[in-house]
Amino acid sequence: MRVAPPVAMDSSQKETLEQWARSRSLPARQVQRAKVVLLASEGKTDLEIAAALRIGNHKVARWRKRFLNLGLAGLEKDASRRGRKPAIPVAVKLEVIRKTTQGSPANATHWSTRTMASEMGISEATVRRIWHANGLKPHLIKSFKISKDKRFAEKLEAIVGLYLNPPEHAIVLCVDEK
């Protein structure tokens, strides 16, 4: 049979644990942990403490060990855990970002969530979440569009000339089709 290590504490730690054990405002977990350590300091075994508090003996052993290793701070918070593995690998997210920012689909000016989803083999909602998390909006163009018209420079000069030197008794108006 395994023997649990004895718990020794100074008077300030014992006083703090007694306050925690009586507390009605602290989280129930912290109150229970304080009771475990107080009973362990009285020399009780893990099985006796587990029976008295109606919890598992593994839980008692865990909190006894955490107190011995970390002191009072070890009882205040749970240990951090890994958490769930991401459903979409980081490499896929990076590829979506790269394609969005550096390329365009065939026969289109920009990526849509549907075209990117079919290209990458992921859902449309996943593409939308990746774009939103990275502030990507491929449907918005933030730069000046230059016309592919061969006579663009000639037309531009004519329009700018109207603004700079309008005809007498005439009003120059501009209407943008967008």
- In a domain? residue 123: yes
The pLDDT score that the predictor gives to residue 1 is 59
Average pLDDT in the 15-43 region? Answer: 94
Residue 21: inside a domain:
yes
Any domain includes 175: no
pLDDT the model gives residue 161: 87
pTM for the full model? 0.51
Among positive and negative, which fits the CA dihedral 88, 92, 94, 97? negative
Is residue 157, in this structure, part of any structural domain at all? no
70 shares its domain with 19: yes
What is the C-alpha separation between 123 and 7, in angstroms, rounded?
A: 54
Say if residue 72 is in the same domain as residue 101. Answer: no
Domain total for the chain? 2
Is residue 111 included in any domain, yes or no? yes
Share of the chain above pLDDT 90, in %: 54
- Within a domain: residue 63? yes
pLDDT tens, residue by residue, 55-67: 999 999 999 999 9
- In a domain, residue 37? The reply is yes
Same domain membership, residue 72 and residue 21? yes
Closest CA to 159 of 145, 173, 144, 146: 173
Task: Please provide the distance, in angstroms rounded to a whole number, between the alpha carbons at the two ends of the chain.
Answer: 82
* CA 38/CA 28 separation, integer angstroms: 15
Q: Judge if 94 and 52 occupy the same domain.
A: no
Question: Comparing 36-45, 86-95, 144-153, 162-171, which segment has the lowest mean pLDDT?
Answer: 144-153
pLDDT tens per residue, range 71-96: 999 999 888 888 888 888 999 999 99
* Residues 132, 97: Cα–Cα separation, whole Å: 11
**Above 70 in pLDDT, residue 70?**
yes
Q: What is the spatial distance between Cα 117 and Cα 96, in angstroms, rounded to a whole number?
A: 9
Looking at the fold, whether 65 and 119 belong to one and the same domain comes out as: no
Domain containing residue 30: 11-76
Under 8 Å between Cβ of 50 and 57? yes
